[in-house]
Amino acid sequence: MDLTARFRELVRTALGLEADPGRPPALDRLALYPAEVKSATSDGLYLDVQPIDPRVEGHQRVPVRVGVPGEVAVVQAGAVVLLGWERGDPSKPYCVPSWNAGATVTKLVFKASAVHLADESGSEEVITKTDFLTFLKSWQDAAVGGSDGGALMRTNTIAALTAAGWSVGASLAGLGSSRVKAVR
């Protein structure tokens, strides 16, 4: 081997490149690589991904690290995430969000004891579907004297109840979730 080829090999080795300049550099498993989501589990905890870099093989059931403890985001196929490996270990892949423009979140879950939308101070309780259905059931029972004849009341809206002379606002005041609040 001539001196120039030996020097080239030494420099490439020092830089972590393959000795043969015709081969691409070894994959850096401490880096993050863009990958297209092929599918997501319904609970949003795992993704099947195909990296954009052809040197990186596709992975299935890769755990997702969303960033906020207890948060789960289920995305549609086609979204882009970043694929990495814990401490560079090829047996421990993970994905982190790097949603591309137009990515669609099909479900967003926050496992938290309280969620405030906008700002905590001055936030008011949000009425949930369960709260509202409980409210309608109580109006139904009051209007017909029991729960056996309420088919008509179940189809009426608050506007109809108000038009009938019921004081809807006063009854709604105590409704709402203490866990989800929003600023108006």
* Domain coordinates in residue numbering, the chain: 24-110, 115-182
pLDDT of residue 59: 95
> Hey, which residues does 48 pair with through a beta bridge?
39
128-146 mean pLDDT = 65
pLDDT of residue 155: 46
pLDDT of residue 149: 47
Highest-confidence segment of 93-107, 142-156, 164-178 = 93-107
pLDDT of residue 39: 95
pLDDT of residue 160: 54
> What whole-number distance in Å separates Cα of residue 81 and Cα of residue 49?
8
21-26 mean pLDDT = 62
162-184 mean pLDDT = 56
**103 phi and psi, to 5 degrees?**
-65, 140
CATH class of 24-110: mainly beta
pLDDT of residue 47: 96
What DSSP line would sit under 119-182, residue for residue? -STT-EEEPPHHHHHHHHHHHHHHHHTSSTT-HHHHH--HHHHHHTT--HHHHHTT-SEEEEEE
75-115 pLDDT, tens digit per residue, is 889 889 999 999 989 899 999 988 777 777 788 888 877 77
